[in-house]
Structure 1
Amino acid sequence: MNEVFARGPSLLTRLCIVLMLSVGAMVIDTKVDNLSTLRTYLTSLVSPLQYIADLPGGLLDWSASRFNSRQKMLEENSRLTNQITLMNEKLQRFVVLEDENNNLRELLDAPVREGMYRMIAELMAVDNNPYSHQIVINKGAIHGVYEGQPVLDDTGVVGQIVEVGTTNSRVLLISDITHAIPVRISRNNIRMIASGSGSLNELSLNHVVHSGDIQEGDLLISSGLGNIFPAGYPVATIINIVRDESLPFASITAKPSAQLDRIKYLLLLWPPDIAPVDALSPSDELTREGS
């Protein structure tokens, strides 16, 4: 069978024939004008095959560009989320500045409160025990986290660190029945204790006399007493007051400022003397990422 296919002109003869045909085609193409129209038709006929041949490469380029665009969007979203969280933390302080300024005019010799260092943390898990309001965050001892450290979100006080691991920590929420925080009313500076009620949307105010100047809608902010939570951060808003004279104290409930049922990103606070090197200082740009 090999002999059958071996019959015919030799390879050298075939090469010469092909060269002669090629030269002849080039000469005819330069001398005959009508062949340009034929060449246009042939090009149009072959063009679909060219598009089909280029299709796999085009699809790969399109997929790569879509993937890069998605990655850039995710990175931009993360950066903007961190930036908004940091900005809202500062805005919380501005809410009470107007009330504090009136008092500071009379206390010009009072020491200025030092700014807090900050770091953004992210929620990892929620305790599934219905009688314990605790969460786990992705910052631990290697990040400088310590027991008793205050934790906020972008709207108010969330709780404090109660257990520190190497790379994560456990936070006790202010709504837990074992938690209490010293607060004051921003309107008139009346001090009281806000305790967890076991409900994410409700705090209880203990031992408040009936004659106290307390109104629904009053904003409760951290008083700074107890050396756990720095002063001036929103804690809750009073939503209900019951003054039953048969009882020794009024029954007052408040709604936490922090959105405890939809926590995602959190802020850890440090005083300047123990802040880790990678925490954001009060003078740092908000565009710097804290994660």
Structure 2
Amino acid sequence: MNAIFKHGPSPQHRLVLVLFCSALLIFFDHKMNSFESVRGYLQSMVSPLQYLATTPKQMMNWAAENIVTRRQLVADNEQYKVNELVFHEQALQLDIVKKENERLRALLSSPLRTDTRKMVAEILTVDSDPYTHQVVINRGANDGVYEGQAVIDDEGIVGQILHVGTTSSRVLLITDVTHAIPVRISRNGVRLIANGVGVIDQLSHSHVPHSADVRVGDVLVTSGLGSKFPEGYPVAKVTFVMQDESHAFARIQSQPVAKIDRLRYVLLLWPEHSESTVINDSAAKIIENQLLEKGVSE
């Protein structure tokens, strides 16, 4: 049966033609850069197909990174809550330590004489009796504490040692009804007696004549009388003065400068060695040495 249409060139001829055209195109492209613009257009046409081909891989990567199980989310949430509690607890501890450091720094920077021996003590307990103002500290006879020893904070006089134990001591505060301390007005030197009245922020001053020059705002400091408290330490500030001639004495009240209701750390003071004591000790040593030398020579 004869074909209606005749066949074209043979496959061999087609291959030779294609190879020749390819070589011709390569020559013109290499030597004359004739197809740069055409190559750019073709690249632009192929780019969407390239993006489309990489889309499944990108979606799989996104799903692997962002899609997690509910159990893992719950576990991570619980761990974050635990970490938050730990961090809050550490922040609270840091705040407590910071406040304690501030108290100790303020306490050690109180107006102490350089030649005075002192020791830091911590408040252990506070007496629960509302009519007794006493506290217990963590220093005792093992630390050299003695009855009647002066106790101060970073502002002024707190009280004195009432009872001494081996490792702890009881402090009688200046606001106790049984406590009294001799003071003087720093402005003019007028001497008064500061008595506790059982109120944490109040002291009274009895038997003050109407002629005494006392004013609201006057600072009261220790007078040094009685040899229990060193001279010159702040005690209180006058808050009320009433001079009524119908009464035998003026009515005067003051407020302690020490933070009696917020005590945490206190300082214990030892008495200063006076110059006369040093001289007497030196004279005694000289006499003792002379007696020893005399005994040896004999």
- Shift in CA distance, 159/39, structure 1 to aligned 2, threshold 3 Å: same
TM-superposed deviation, 1:181:
0.8
Q: Distance in 2 between matches of 1:246 and 1:74?
A: 53
**Alpha-carbon spacing, 1:239–1:71, altered in 2? closer, same or farther (3 Å):** closer
Task: Specify the alignment match of 2:108 in structure 1.
Answer: 86
Matches within 5 A, 1:1-16: none
SS of alignment partner, residue 188 of structure 2: coil
Which whole-Å CA distance do the structure 2 matches of 1:40 and 1:239 have between them? 77
Aligned to 1:239: 239
Q: Please list, as runs of the form range in 1=range in 2, the aligned pairs for 1:239-258 lying within 5 A after superposition.
A: 239-258=239-258
On the 8 A contact 1:174/1:180 being kept in 2, the answer is yes
Could you tell me which amino acid in structure 1 is paired with residue 65 of structure 2? S
Q: Distance in 1 between matches of 2:216 and 2:236?
A: 11
TM-score (norm 2): 0.60
SS of the equivalent of 2:160 reads strand
* Aligned twin of 2:6: none
Tell me which residue corresponds to 1:213: 213
Q: Secondary structure at the match of 1:204?
A: strand
Distance 2:238 2:272 in 1: 32
> 84, 92, 97: which is aligned to 1:75?
97
Whole-angstrom distance in 1 between the partners of 2:67 and 2:210: 93
After superposition, what is the alpha-carbon deviation per residue over 1:167-219, rounded to whole angstroms, capped at 9, x for unaligned? 32111111222211111100011112212223223222233222222222211
Return the alpha-carbon distance in structure 2 between the equivalents of residues 252 and 216 of structure 1: 9
Change (3 A) 1:38 1:256: closer
**Residue number in structure 1 paired with 2:128:** 128
Structure 1 match to 2:23? none
Report 1:161-240 matches (<5 A).
Answer: 161-240=161-240
How much does 1:163 deviate? 0.8
Q: Which of 61, 70, 76 is matched with 1:40 structurally? A: 61
* Cα distance in 2, alignment partners of residues 233 and 204 from structure 1: 18
- Greater relative contact order, per chain length (Cα 8 Å cut-off, separation 6+): 1
Unpaired runs of at least 5, structure 2: 1-53, 274-298
CA, structure 1 residues 37+150, in 2 after alignment: closer, same or farther (shift >3 Å)? same
Partner SS for 2:119: strand
How far apart are residue 68 of structure 1 and its match?
A: 5.0
**SS of equivalent residue, structure 2 residue 204:** strand
Question: What are the equivalent positions in structure 2 for 1:21-32 lying under 5 Å apart?
Answer: none
Call closer, same or farther: CA 1:114–1:189 in 2, change over 3 Å: farther
Deviations 1:147-183 (A, max 9, x none): 1111122322111010112232111111222211111
Change (3 A) 1:52 1:139: same
Residues 164 and 73 of structure 1: CA distance in aligned 2, closer, same or farther (over 3 Å): same
CA distance in 2 between partners of 1:251 and 1:63 (Å): 55
> In the superposition, relative to structure 1, how do residues 38 and 135 fare at CA in structure 2: closer, same or farther (>3 Å)?
closer
Matched position secondary structure for 2:105: helix
- Whichever of the two has the greater Rg, that structure is 2
In structure 1, runs of 5+ residues without a counterpart are 1-32, 94-112, 274-291
C-alpha separation in 1, matches of 2:250 and 2:83: 69
C-alpha deviation, 1:131, in angstroms: 3.0
CA separation of 1:78 and 1:236: change in aligned 2, threshold 3 A:
closer
Map Cα deviations across residues 74-116 of structure 1 (whole Å, 9 max, x no partner). 43332222112323x23xx7xxxxxxxxxxxxxxxxxxx6543
Counterpart for residue 143 of structure 2: 143
The count of residues paired between Structure 1 and Structure 2 equals 220
| Aligned-partner residue type, residue 193 of structure 1 | I
Answer 1 or 2: which has greater helix percent.
Answer: 2
Local SS of the residue matching 1:201: coil
Q: SS at the partner of 1:224?
A: coil
In the alignment, the residues of structure 2 paired with residue 230 and residue 168 of structure 1 have an alpha-carbon distance, to the nearest angstrom, of 23
